Amino acid sequence: MHIRRRAALGGLLAAALPGLQAYAQPSPATLLNVSYDPTRELYAAINPAFAKAWQAQTGQAVQIRASHGGSGAQARAVIDGLEADVVTLALQPDIDAISERAGLVAPGWRGRLPNGSVPYTSTILFVVRKGNPKGIHDWADLVRPGVGVITPNPKTSGGARWNYLAAWGWALRANGGDKDRARAFVAELFKHVPVLDTGARGSTITFAQRGQGDVLLAWEDDANLAVRRMGRDRLEIVVPSVSIVAEPVVAVVDKVADRHGTRALAEAYLRFLWTPDAQEIAARNFYRPTDPAVLARHAEQFPNLPTFTVADALGDWPAVQREHFGDGGVFDQIYKPGQ
């Protein structure tokens, strides 16, 4: 009986194999996208859309996996050997680090995709408790006595670096470009921070669920998500007089994609982010599309506030990174005792 069953099984397999092979051609490809924390929902929507488009175009099935975490921690994981085909991170220095420290991304990566490799942008807004009981309307209000500000640690969080630079940029403008006064403002701002979480999502939870602080500095997309999830009857968004253009960046991890033989797929995946379909998905997730037509369609959900880029306000990113967030940089000095 045993033998008969085995023979039957073998027959079944033999019959199925050619079918399987036909089904498997061309063989399905996989791609790993290593991304930062708040993009979970975004890429959960973009990945199936791309897989469909790619299969329609090439006939190849593709499986895209995404990994999320703090932007800096994700960059470090890639440097340490996480086999990412593409990275989609919160800010330029994190991909620069992968390029410079591990040589995995070719130098000049920002020139290979449109718009300096920035597929969608965001900005930094305030979230306050319903009715705005402390009357917080602009950056200056954050340092009033008795106001608690929730923001993560810029050393460990990409979003926190945008918060910090937005505050710095506003203070420069408000003080006629006086760096000492900008620094004094940012130092004062961090004296109002009762909890320094390690990541943006942590801060959102501290503010929204634990009820700490009076105002949360957040990515526009995270702010909208918090208000939607926690309820419009508890939280509201405040748009300051001016903020920063937060520019998340994307790149193919050249060495890994070449080793996996996924370069064409990886490049197509990133280029897909600039198509109207993907831009539409980005807009629906509260990322500002770089495609003006899509942005115009969603204009009502993106408050029209004056914004500045890091380059406008502070200079180029590597220098900003060193000066403000490097060891012994401005952020470290803010916490020196007696200052």
The residues binding another protein (CB under 8 A) are 70, 72-73, 76, 79, 97, 101, 153, 155-156, 193-198, 210-212, 325-328, 332, 335-337
Cα–Cα distances in angstroms (integers) from residue 138 to residues 73, 144, 167, 203, 215, in the given order? 31, 11, 10, 20, 11
Q: Which is nearer to another protein, 196 or 242 (CB)?
A: 196
Q: Pick the closer one to another protein by CB: 76 or 260.
A: 76
Token pair in block for residue 189: 């701002």
Q: Hey, what's the torsion of the CAs at 268, 274, 280, 283, to 10 degrees?
A: 120
334 contacts 182 by C-beta, under 8 angstroms = no
State how far the Cα of 152 lies from the Cα of 38, in Å rounded to an integer.
Answer: 14
Please report how close the Cβ of residue 321 comes to another protein at its closest, in angstroms. Answer: 10
Please report how close the Cβ of residue 154 comes to another protein at its closest, in angstroms: 10
Question: Rounded to the nearest whole angstrom, what is the least distance from the CB of residue 106 to another protein in the complex?
Answer: 19
Q: Nearest distance from residue 84's CB to another protein, in Å? A: 17
Q: Where would I find the beta strands (DSSP E) of 102-229?
A: 120-129, 149-150, 215-219
Q: Which is nearer to another protein, 300 or 327 (CB)?
A: 327
Q: Nearer to another protein by C-beta: 196 or 251?
A: 196
Closest to 243 measured CA to CA, from 138, 135, 325:
138
38 versus 202: smaller Cβ distance to another protein: 202
For another protein, the closer of residues 79 and 295 by Cβ is 79
Comparing CB distances to another protein, the nearer of 104 and 193 is 193
C-alpha 50/C-alpha 55 separation (Å) is 8
199: nearest Cα among 145, 250, 163, 236? 163
Least distance from another protein to the Cβ atom of residue 210, Å = 5
Q: How far is the CB of 185 from another protein (least distance, A)?
A: 19
Distances (CA, A) of 119 to 11, 276, 281: 52, 11, 12
Whole-number minimum distance, CB 158 to another protein, in Å?
10
Pair 272, 338: CB distance under 8 Å: no
**Sequential DSSP letters for 211-274:** --SSEEEEEHHHHHHHHHHH-TTTEEEE--S-EEEE--EEEE-HHHHHHHT-HHHHHHHHHHTT
Of the pair 175, 198, the CB lying nearest another protein is at 198
